[in-house]
Amino acid sequence: MFRLLRRQRRLHASSPRQVARERLHSAIHRDRMEVSAPQLSALRDSMQSAIREHLAVTGVFTEFWLQRDGEEVFLVSRARLEDRG
C-alpha cells in the first residue's frame, strides 16, 4: 500500500503538468530579469541622478551590474566620492 502511494506521489511529481510548471516558472523568471544594454544604460543614468541627490558622488559609476540569485536580483554599483578638497 505504502509502495503504491509512494509510486503515485513520484508519478505526480514528475507529471507533464508539473514539469511544464517548473520549466515555465524558470523561463519566465529569467525573461523578467533580462535587461538589454540600452535598458541597463538607461537604468544606470536614472540611478546616478537619484543617488547624486542624496550622496556626494561623482557622476560616473566605476561599477554597475545586475546579479541574479534565484528569484532575486541584486543591483551592484560602485561610485567614487566627490573630491571636494
Partner 1 sequence: MSGKTIVMTSGKGGVGKTTATANVGTGLALRSNRVVVIDTDIGLRNLDVVMGLENRIVYDLVDVIEGRCRIEQALIRDKHAGELYLIAAAQTRDKDCIDSQQLVDLCRRLEAEFDYIIVDCPAGIEQGFRNAISAAQEALVVTTPEVSAIRDADRVIGLLHASDIRNARLIINRIRPEMVRQGDMMDASDVLEMLAVDPIGLIPADDRVITSTNNGTPVVYDSQSPSGREFVRIAARIDGEHIPMIDPVEEQPTSIMDKVRTLMGINRKASAHV
Q: Which residues make up the interface to partner 1 (CB under 8 A)?
A: 12, 15-18, 20-21, 23-25, 27-28, 31-32
Return the closest-CA partner of residue 63 out of 81, 44, 49, 82: 44
Residue with cell 532575486: 72
* 19/76 with CB nearer partner 1: 19
Single-letter amino acid code for the residue at 23: R
Q: Measured from the CB of residue 2, what is the shortest distance to partner 1 in angstroms?
A: 21
By the 8 A CB rule, do 52 and 35 touch? no
* 29/52 with CB nearer partner 1: 29
* 45/82 with CB nearer partner 1: 45
